[in-house]
Structure 1
Amino acid sequence: MKINCIAVDDEPLALGLISAFVKQTAFLDFKGQYSNAVQALNAIHSEDVQLVFLDIQMPELNGMELARVLSQTISAPKIIFTTAYNQFAIEGYKVDALDYLLKPFGYEEFLRAANKAKNHFEGLVQNQLIPESQDEKYLFVKADYKLVRIDFDNILYIESLKDYIKIHLVNSTHPVVSLSSLKAIEEKLPATRFMRIHRSFVVAIDKVDSITKSTVQLGTTNISVGDQYKDAFKELLLRWG
């Protein structure tokens, strides 16, 4: 498969190098290079861009700010940061970046990051090809310094709290706490069974007790629907209607 990608960097030499690396990588389809994040944002909105090699320190809109904007959109492209400053690693984690290339880097390091993107997108395609009846019935998360198995049937809802998520379970007052982004966990959940209704909440559809035009009730917990998720939520209203 080919991955549509762009390069964004305000330094001409760095932009030229990354663009050259992309063009010599067979599974990457180069869609353009941009010297600032505003141009890149316009391109992402008008083109089918799946992957962005993104510098962080740029004028006007910096790379981290662009990543935050993209993280709130549907079908957001994946990000590989390219920067000379290593203090942004934690921020990159928060926006669910695929990787973090520290300048100066060579083609070997670039290819390692590109292969991580390739594995990610191939995994998505494979998951789409597997009938739901054969899907995994659980996921593993890191919690308390170990991998914990969470059965989908036991999930009530998942809550995001800054750098952490809380997985609230059926018949349990103690949620599983894991260092992860909500988006990363959402990608592991079957879309037919779970729905994101707020930037901080994903709910199990079959555990919903009642709904209104703007809220969802799960047991004693009442969750408001975020504005950007209301269109998707209308589908749930139609099911209940």
Structure 2
Amino acid sequence: MVINCMAVDDEPLALGLVCSFIEQTPFLRLAGRHESAVAALKALHEQPEIQLLFLDIKMPDLSGMELARVLQRGPRVIFTTAFNQYALEGFRVDALDYLLKPFNYEEFLRAALKAKTYFELKQNQAGNAAASAQLPAAPSPLPQEDHIYLKVEYQLVRVALADIVYVEGLKDYVKVHLASQPRPLLSLTSLRSMEEKLPAGKFLRIHRSYIVGLNHIQAVGRGTVQIAGETLPVSDGYREAFDQFFSRWK
């Protein structure tokens, strides 16, 4: 596939470098270049085919971060900036990657390949959905997926459902504790969003801060769950669902 790109940077030398990198990458097509976010915003309304922005952050009138917030449902963004303090904010606006100036072609290509993987995955999902829509109604429901995708450090990481022991909600992140590795995955999403992704037959929310994998529960007590050597509390708001599950253990 070929990805239609736009480069936006108020520094002509930096803009020229990004454009040259785009042009020498076979799966990228340079469809626009602009020295201000305001000009880019206007052009994007006229060029709906743009899929990917290589976007500087510190620009006059309208910053790249402000433009990214406006385009939450528009093209995806790879930030190109000399300031690393915006990395967390870039994560929050769902940027695909964050290139810190000065960067070389190898670093640029690594970010571009992440974008290629994202768009290929999206294309495959759209194709599967279209194919499913043309199939006759099945007598029984299709099997659930055995994995989910999590955004971890600007990458989409495939995680097997069977590997998820429990999910811990923090202020801006979730920690996904896995059976296969000692360190949890850190993903910028909410526990509510995780609850929607995880199948109810395999996972149970027991607390405003915890979702547990039912197959990994070692023991249950009065208001507690023991899992992976940890004892997690069951809060009052989730007690009824917990008790229904616990009744099957008796």
TM-score using structure 2 length: 0.58
The answer to whether the 8 A contact 1:165-1:177 is kept is no
Instruction: Please tell me the residue identity of whatever aligns with 2:55.
Output: L
Q: Hey, what does 2:207 align to over in structure 1? A: 174
Structure 1: give runs of 5+ residues left out of the alignment. 151-160, 179-241
Distance 1:93 1:136 in 2: 26
Structure-to-structure mapping, 1:75-224, within 5 angstroms = 76-130=74-128, 131-132=131-132, 133=142, 136=145, 139=148, 149=161, 164-167=189-192, 168=195, 172-174=205-207
SS of the equivalent of 1:25 reads: coil
User: For residues 5 and 112 of structure 1, what CA distance do their matches in structure 2 show?
Assistant: 16
The whole-number CA distance in structure 2 between the counterparts of 1:34 and 1:177 is 46
- For the 8 Å contact 1:82–1:101, the answer to whether it is kept is yes
* CA 1:104–1:4: 2 relative to 1, 3 Å: same
Work out whether residues 52 and 76 of structure 2, in 8 Å CA contact, stay in contact via their aligned partners in 1.
Answer: yes
SS of equivalent residue, structure 2 residue 191 = strand
Q: Deviation of residue 32 (structure 1)? A: 1.1
Shift of 1:174: 2.9
Quick one: distance in 2 between partners of 1:15 and 1:24?
14
Q: Which residue of 2 aligns with 1:67?
A: 68
Query: Which residues of structure 2 form unaligned runs of 5+?
Result: 133-141, 152-158, 163-170, 174-188, 212-250
CA distance in 2, matches of 1:127, 1:38: 33
Paired-residue identity, %: 51
* Amino acid across the alignment from 1:60: D
Match of 1:32 in 2: 32
User: How far apart in 2 are the matches of 1:134 and 1:148?
Assistant: 15
User: In structure 2, do the counterparts of structure 1 residues 135 and 30 end up closer, same or farther at CA, with 3 Å as the change threshold?
Assistant: farther
Displacement of 1:100 in angstroms is 0.5
Matched length: 164
